[in-house]
Amino acid sequence: MNKHLIRISLITSLIPAFSWSAQAETALEIMKKNEEVRKVNEFESRAKLTTGNSAEKTEKVKEFTFWRKVQADRIHNSTLTRFHSPAEVRNEGILILENPDGKNDVLLYLPNFKKTRRVESQQQSGSFMGSVFSYSDIATPHTSDYLYKTLRQEKCPGAEHASVQCHVIEALPVNEDVLERTGYSKSVVWVRTDNFMAVKGEYTNAQGELFKRLEAGQIKMVDPKEKKWLAHFLSIENLKTRDYTRLLFSNVKVNGGIADAVFTQQNLQKVR
Amino acid sequence: MRLYNTFRHIGLSHLKARPARAVLTTLGVAFGISLYVAIAIINHSTRNSMRDSIDAVAGKARLSISAGIAGFPESRLEVIRVIPGVKSAVPMIEARAFFEGATESADGLQIMGVDLLQEASVRTYKATDQKIIDDPLTFLNQSDSIILTQALAAKRGLKIDDKIRLSTALGAREFTIRGLLEPEGAAKAYGGSLAIMDIDGARVSFGKENKLDRVDIVPRNGEDLNALQVRIESALGSGYRVERPETQSEQMERMLDSYQLILTFFSSLALLVGLFLVMNSISVAIAERKREIGTLRALGATRSLMVALFVSEVVGIGFIGSALGCVLGKGLAHRMSSQITTSVAAQFQMRIEISHLEFTVSQMIFTLLAGTAAAVIAAFFPALRAATIHPLESMRRHSESLDPVETRRSNLQVLLGILLLGFMSLSMIFSWGKLWIGIDLMTKASAVLGAALFGPFLVLGLLRLTRGLGANLSFPILRLAQENLLRSRKRTGANVMALMVGLFLVMLIASVRSSFHDTLTQWLDRIFVADIMVGSNGRFISGDVQAIQDSILPELLSVPGIKPIGADRGAATRIVPYFYEGKKMAIKAIDRYADFYRFQNIPVTGSDRTRTALDWYESAEPAALVSRGFLTNAKKKVGDHFELDSPGGKVSFRIAGEIVDYASSQGVIYLDRKVYKKFWNDSLVTVFVLNLESGTTFEQVRTEIAKRLGKKWNLVTISNREFKDQMQSAVERSFAYTRVIETIALLVGLLGLLNTLLISVMERTREIGVLRAIGSTRIQISKMILFEAVIQGFFGACVAILLGAYVGRLFVEYALTEQLGWIIEYHFPKQSVWMTIITGVLVAALAGIWPARRASGLEITEALDYE
């Protein structure tokens, strides 16, 4: 479930904002466009989350439904995830409500205990539910959280995007709070020049070590009218532990009319 | 330079000429130091481990909130979270669990039920594979999820995804290991005997739904902790303890202080025996070298040079002995640590797992210096005496018995011994040690020094008393041995002193052990009158048992052969620790079944049992029976009122009477379980006591309980006899460590006696030569020396029994009450009397073998030529 969030955040986190050099405005502009093209007003999908370790050759699969809606302020998102399988996690749900102050409310519903638990904000820079994604990956990063710099332009990485050029943009956290929340001291993202979707990200931890790599694929336009895009496949790897997480979206429905009541604690606790 | 030359040419040559003496003295110092070092290491490591555990569990928290074992409502967390200054308030459930079949505390597990979604803000954990939990979604949603420490898993051969069965409040439960922790952060606590669960899972498994045991507070940066503490206290009201982690540490350390002081006292005794050995060795060496001293003095050697010469001979012995003692002590600490933690657990209901034994370089350097200095000090006084001998006197040969100076010294020694014993007695009786720790230390030291100085006088007295007996026995060698001992009082005194102090220590410890054992056994016989006891896994004897729901009582009573007790048929007891004004006490909440036993199970003292018990049960206001420890610590008397913090607020209790109970030395509070349940909302039970129908055997009932309820609840059924046996072995285990102290003290005593016997044989070479020349055979000489040793061992043991029992009595009746809070009756250790005598004789005989062989091996001509 987190994984959905994750992918979104991934994409967003690949993106950072703002620069201070002559190129700065360009970099910020690129990232703003990136944020804009992936901001789907409403979005519902089935998803498959696969976690494993490339050294141990073990994999676990979880399936869930994912709902997301842009809040009234047109900036922040509300996200709900409901798990279907395996049996041990059936009906577990995660509700993420982004707040203007940057501190997100993350609520986890545990059906076996019929209880909703809050994920403390300090916990949100840690691993999200055992996946390679962190809570901060899941929450949508905003351009104002970063200082951006265009490093170069080059051919996009990966066979799927080989024919397209990418902006390579470096993002640095704008302050200590952002660093603490995300755990990243630096991010480098590859943003396609044609549709401004991020296709790759590399993340450096607080100790200055490169430790995560994200790749996005199956990028499709999901809302032709509004020109919104969605990466249907995300893959992130922890380069130190060799743990990986893959997220695949299917049955994507856009702007089908999701009520605000979906993103409430009451709904989170409703077991279908 | 002058000293160096004197040492090189005289001191060193003596050491070389008497290697056995040097080795024995060194070993004596080494053994004495080893025990001291071992106890110092254990004491230091125990405190460190305790502090580490508290710090590890506290993590980044600067305050923690608790409300006793029954916990407090979960809803209070929201109140705490909004208190200004609170950055994070992280809840926890604490519980004990036991591996299936556990009968020892070592098989227990401390469960920390934590909110894993908030833990990062207060505590850190490190997993073996960098992820604590492989799948948090599964972990959090399954109540059987558990994380063990790597150390515990390795000890039990467990791995991730393995299942373990633990006794919980809801019976036997299966848990799945879903994570392993490296020994870092909180996982270092409790010596690794720790399991982490998610808080909801822990609540369900341990019967603590909607409750919290503890909330850890991380304050906002720059927050004034005192002000925050006050805000929290006023927001929560009474019934809650808001503490800093360091306060918890200090409280625990205060509890340990007295206990560790007693351990140090015992270990110091062994060291003292070692130092006596040094003192004796030098004293006898001085006697042996009296002519040499006279010659040196006549040649112009100053008194200070003489002192320096003898002291310098001991420096090497002290240093090497101390170094050897450090090595031996470390090994000994490994051997004794678990015994001492067992003893601490029994004394204070405090589980301490020593994570590692620490002996720092600075401690080692200190020990080396202190050991050497102590040996030098021990040698200094005899050396000073040597220096004061006039050259003319040194050259003169005369009988010791006629020496008025020696006689005066001997009398002074006896007087000093009596004065020290007198001071010790008064100090213990009037608790002078409370005034200043220095007086306490002096009191304890006086007991040993007094016994050491006065003891030889008593031995000589006994020898004189039995003089005629030897003559009547027509056993000339025995008589000769007896006469020899009486003729050389100083030598006999020196021989006896080291062994006697060792035996004195044995008797003192035996007095304490026997008093504990007999007092507890007699108390149990009086109050534990039920046929059987039923509980879950754990140690019944200490109450460290997995508590279970009282709802199983009807099921228990339906077992054929079980006879209900009391009007409510209920016979449950709940034992919980309770902190009253910083002292760790115990609450015993007991069902009313006392009427059935005519109140025999309520150990009321100082008033009519039945009337007091009825007053307690039937009081209109909440009433309690309390132990002497409570009355002393709370400064209350019967009839007074006191308040206890319950989850619902403070409850005032009237003290209806005084009871004798050994659940806690600091204080025990008896409550009617109905009253306890009402105020603490805790329906768990530590143990059920039940009777058997006539014609039913215990084994039948045990089998039936196991069949019907055993699997589901992990129930353990024990008989009245088994419980009392457990108590006996618990007392034995509590004192197991003292065996090592006794052994070391005896070993040092043996070395001391061996050393002085060897020296005395050497000193009497000429005398032995004369005996041989007038017809004594080698066997007769050998027997004579052995008899001398055995007689000294026997009478040394007799005097040790006398003095050990006397000091033991004072120790039990005054010092233990004063320092540990235990109020126990003195019981003379009858069974130890023969053991002490036999040990004394055997040790003396063993020490006499070598000198006897040596004496019998002397050639007549050489012996007669000996100067």
CA atoms within 13 A on the CB side of B737: 25
Give the span between the Cα atoms of B350 and B252, in whole angstroms.
9
Among B141, B211, B216, the strongest candidate for a mutation testing the A interface, having the largest count of A CBs within 10 A, is B141
pLDDT score of B228: 93
| A22: pLDDT strictly greater than 50 | no
pLDDT tens sequence across B493-536:
777 877 787 888 888 888 888 888 888 888 888 888 888 888 87
- Are A113 and B121 within 8 A, CB to CB? no
B551 in the same domain as B634: yes
| A13: pLDDT strictly greater than 70 | no
Q: Give the residue on A whose Cα is nearest the Cα of B132.
A: A130
**Measuring CA to CA, how many Å separate A128 from each of A123, A241, A245?**
9, 15, 11
B130 in the same domain as B254: no
pLDDT band, residue A12 (cuts 50/70/90): very low
Which residues in chain B touch residue A51, judged by CB atoms under 8 angstroms apart?
135
pLDDT band, residue B236 (cuts 50/70/90): confident
Which residues in chain B touch residue A129, judged by CB atoms under 8 angstroms apart?
135-137
Average pLDDT over residues B123-151: 77
Beta bridge partners of B6: none
Q: In the predicted model, what is the mean pLDDT of chain A? A: 82
The minimal CB distance from B137 to the residues A83, A120, A241 is found for A83
Comparing C-alpha atoms, which of B450, B517, B451, B526 is closest to residue B830? B517
Does residue B764 lie in a domain region?
A: no
Given CB atoms, is A127 within the 8 Å cutoff of chain B? Answer: yes
Total count of domains within chain A:
1
Of B773 and B93, the structure prediction assigns the larger pLDDT to B93
Element (H, E) at B837: helix B830-856
The minimal CB distance from B117 to the residues A51, A108, A113 is found for A108
pLDDT tens sequence across B355-403:
678 888 888 888 888 888 888 887 887 777 777 766 666 555 544 445 6
- Are B141 and A110 within 8 A, CB to CB? yes
**Residue A231 belongs to domain with CATH number:** 2.50.20.10
What range does the domain containing A79 cover?
Answer: 2-268
Given CB atoms, is A112 within the 8 Å cutoff of chain B? Answer: yes
Among A2, A81, A91, A120, the strongest candidate for a mutation testing the B interface, having the largest count of B CBs within 10 A, is A120
Give the span between the Cα atoms of B819 and B686, in whole angstroms.
29
Of A122 and B257, the structure prediction assigns the larger pLDDT to B257
Of B69 and B570, the structure prediction assigns the larger pLDDT to B69
Give chain A's end-to-end CA distance (angstroms, integer). Answer: 16
In degrees, rounded to 5, the angle at the alpha carbon of residue B843 between the alpha carbons of residues B501 and B269 is: 25
CA B232 to chain A, closest CA, distance in angstroms equals: 21
- Are B135 and A60 within 8 A, CB to CB? yes
Cβ-contact A70, A38 below 8 angstroms = no
pLDDT score of B638: 92
- Are B118 and A60 within 8 A, CB to CB? no
- Are A123 and B134 within 8 A, CB to CB? no
CA A129 to chain B, closest CA, distance in angstroms equals: 5
Give the span between the Cα atoms of B493 and B479, in whole angstroms.
18
B276 in the same domain as B179: no
The minimal CB distance from B117 to the residues A60, A88, A117 is found for A117
Given CB atoms, is A92 within the 8 Å cutoff of chain B? Answer: yes
pLDDT band, residue B626 (cuts 50/70/90): very high
Model pTM greater than 0.90? Answer: no
Give the span between the Cα atoms of B208 and A91, in whole angstroms.
25
| B694: pLDDT strictly greater than 70 | yes
Which residues in chain B touch residue A239, judged by CB atoms under 8 angstroms apart?
none
B82 in the same domain as B189: yes
pLDDT band, residue B354 (cuts 50/70/90): confident
Give the span between the Cα atoms of B170 and B204, in whole angstroms.
8
Query: Who's near B306: CB < 8 A, 6+ residues apart?
Result: B293, B296, B297, B383, B386, B387
3-state secondary structure B693-758: CCCCCHHHHHHHHHHHHHHHHCCEEEEHHHHHHHHHHHHHHHCHHHHHHHHHHHHHHHHHHHHHHH
Q: Give the residue on A whose Cα is nearest the Cα of B121.
A: A122
- Are B141 and A89 within 8 A, CB to CB? yes
B85 in the same domain as B211: yes
- Chain B from 134 to 193: CB within 8 A of any A CB: 134-138, 140-143
Picking from B224, B243, B262, the residue at the C-terminal end of a domain is B243
The minimal CB distance from A122 to the residues B120, B133, B142 is found for B120
- Are A113 and B143 within 8 A, CB to CB? yes
pLDDT score of B819: 66
Among A3, A58, A88, A245, the strongest candidate for a mutation testing the B interface, having the largest count of B CBs within 10 A, is A88
pLDDT score of B591: 86
Does residue B350 lie in a domain region?
A: yes
Give the span between the Cα atoms of A123 and A177, in whole angstroms.
13
Cβ-contact B755, B29 below 8 angstroms = no
The minimal CB distance from A123 to the residues B118, B131, B141 is found for B118
pLDDT band, residue B103 (cuts 50/70/90): low
CA A93 to chain B, closest CA, distance in angstroms equals: 10
The minimal CB distance from B134 to the residues A1, A122, A130 is found for A130
- Chain A from 65 to 84: CB within 8 A of any B CB: 83
Amino acid at residue number B276: F
The minimal CB distance from A110 to the residues B121, B131, B200 is found for B200
Beta-carbon count within 10 A of A186 CB = 18
Q: Give the residue on A whose Cα is nearest the Cα of B118.
A: A120
What range does the domain containing B577 cover?
Answer: 547-713
Cβ-contact B386, B304 below 8 angstroms = no
- Are B129 and A115 within 8 A, CB to CB? no
Beta bridge partners of A45: A66
**Measuring CA to CA, how many Å separate B127 from each of A141, B150, B182?**
29, 9, 5
Query: Who's near A57: CB < 8 A, 6+ residues apart?
Result: none
B377 in the same domain as B312: yes
CA atoms within 13 A on the CB side of B683: 10
Does residue B77 lie in a domain region?
A: yes
- Are A130 and B137 within 8 A, CB to CB? yes
B151 in the same domain as B249: no
pLDDT score of B518: 86
Q: What does the longest C-alpha to C-alpha distance in chain A come to? A: 56
By DSSP bridging, strand B687-692 and strand B532-535 are antiparallel
pLDDT score of B864: 64
Query: Who's near B399: CB < 8 A, 6+ residues apart?
Result: none
Cβ-contact B646, B680 below 8 angstroms = yes
The minimal CB distance from B88 to the residues A89, A110, A120 is found for A120
Give the span between the Cα atoms of B489 and A2, in whole angstroms.
90
DSSP secondary structure of B780-831: HHHHHHHHHHHHHHHHHHHHHHHHHHHHHHHIIIIIHHHHT---------HH
The minimal CB distance from B117 to the residues A60, A120, A240 is found for A120
Average pLDDT over residues B660-682: 87
Of A140 and B432, the structure prediction assigns the larger pLDDT to B432
Picking from B218, B243, B268, the residue at the C-terminal end of a domain is B243
| B282: pLDDT strictly greater than 80 | no
pLDDT tens sequence across B570-586:
578 888 888 888 788 88
Cβ-contact B665, B680 below 8 angstroms = no
- Are B131 and A92 within 8 A, CB to CB? no
Total count of domains within chain B:
3
Does residue B499 lie in a domain region?
A: no
Given CB atoms, is B777 within the 8 Å cutoff of chain A? Answer: no
Query: Who's near B132: CB < 8 A, 6+ residues apart?
Result: B125, B126, B147, B179, B181
pLDDT score of B70: 72
- Are B137 and A240 within 8 A, CB to CB? no
Amino acid at residue number A18: F
CA A154 to chain B, closest CA, distance in angstroms equals: 35
pLDDT score of B789: 84
The minimal CB distance from A92 to the residues B130, B141, B204 is found for B141
Q: In the predicted model, what is the mean pLDDT of chain B? A: 80
Among A51, A53, A89, the strongest candidate for a mutation testing the B interface, having the largest count of B CBs within 10 A, is A89
Predicted ipTM? 0.78
Cβ-contact B121, B90 below 8 angstroms = yes
Q: Which residues of B374-398 are buried (b: 16+ CB within 10 A; e: fewer)?
A: bbbebbbebbebbbebebeebeeee
pLDDT score of B396: 57
Of A258 and B245, the structure prediction assigns the larger pLDDT to A258
The minimal CB distance from A92 to the residues B137, B143, B200 is found for B137
Give the span between the Cα atoms of A82 and A154, in whole angstroms.
39
Comparing C-alpha atoms, which of B228, B246, B245 is closest to residue B236? B228
Give the span between the Cα atoms of A140 and B107, in whole angstroms.
48
As a whole number of Å, the CA-based R_g of chain A is 17
**Measuring CA to CA, how many Å separate B729 from each of A71, A190, B623?**
70, 72, 34
Most confident option among B125-139, B471-485, B645-659: B645-659
In degrees, rounded to 5, the angle at the alpha carbon of residue B499 between the alpha carbons of residues B382 and B307 is: 10
| A36: pLDDT strictly greater than 80 | yes
Picking from B360, B382, B397, the residue at the C-terminal end of a domain is B397
CA A160 to chain B, closest CA, distance in angstroms equals: 31
B86 in the same domain as B44: no
pLDDT score of B30: 86
Average pLDDT over residues B625-642: 91
Which residues in chain A touch residue B121, judged by CB atoms under 8 angstroms apart?
120, 122-123
Average pLDDT over residues A3-25: 38
Among B75, B87, B117, the strongest candidate for a mutation testing the A interface, having the largest count of A CBs within 10 A, is B117
Assigned token pair, B587: 């609450």
Cβ-contact A153, A193 below 8 angstroms = yes
Comparing C-alpha atoms, which of B585, B581, B682 is closest to residue B624? B585
Beta bridge partners of B548: B685
Average pLDDT over residues B408-417: 81
B281 in the same domain as B237: no
B561 in the same domain as B582: yes
Does residue B787 lie in a domain region?
A: no
Does residue B741 lie in a domain region?
A: no
> Dihedral sign, CA of A6, A10, A13, A15?
negative
Beta-carbon count within 10 A of B174 CB = 11
Assigned token pair, B627: 């132990």
Does residue B780 lie in a domain region?
A: no
| B567: pLDDT strictly greater than 60 | no
pLDDT band, residue B161 (cuts 50/70/90): confident
Give the span between the Cα atoms of B92 and B430, in whole angstroms.
46
Q: Give the residue on A whose Cα is nearest the Cα of B203.
A: A113
Phi/psi of residue B440, nearest 5 degrees: -60, -45
Which residues in chain A touch residue B204, judged by CB atoms under 8 angstroms apart?
113
pLDDT tens sequence across B840-859:
888 888 878 887 887 777 77
pLDDT above 70 coverage of chain B, percent:
87
Question: Among A180-194, B114-128, B642-656, whose mean pLDDT is lowest?
Answer: B114-128
Question: Among B75-89, B545-559, B562-576, whose mean pLDDT is lowest?
Answer: B562-576
Q: Which residues of B436-475 are buried (b: 16+ CB within 10 A; e: fewer)?
A: eeebbebbbbbbbbbbbbbbbbbbbebbeeeeeebeeeee
pLDDT above 70 coverage of chain A, percent:
84
pLDDT score of A23: 42
Q: Give the residue on B whose Cα is nearest the Cα of A85.
A: B138
- Are B138 and A89 within 8 A, CB to CB? yes
pLDDT tens sequence across A74-115:
888 899 999 998 888 899 999 988 887 767 788 999 998 888
Which residues in chain B touch residue A83, judged by CB atoms under 8 angstroms apart?
137
Does residue B301 lie in a domain region?
A: yes
Given CB atoms, is A100 within the 8 Å cutoff of chain B? Answer: no
- Chain A from 164 to 223: CB within 8 A of any B CB: none
B192 in the same domain as B101: yes
The minimal CB distance from A119 to the residues B117, B129, B137 is found for B117
pLDDT tens sequence across B760-811:
777 777 777 787 778 778 888 888 888 888 888 888 888 888 888 888 888 8
B652 in the same domain as B568: yes
Phi/psi of residue B24, nearest 5 degrees: -65, -40
Of A25 and B306, the structure prediction assigns the larger pLDDT to B306
pLDDT score of B131: 62
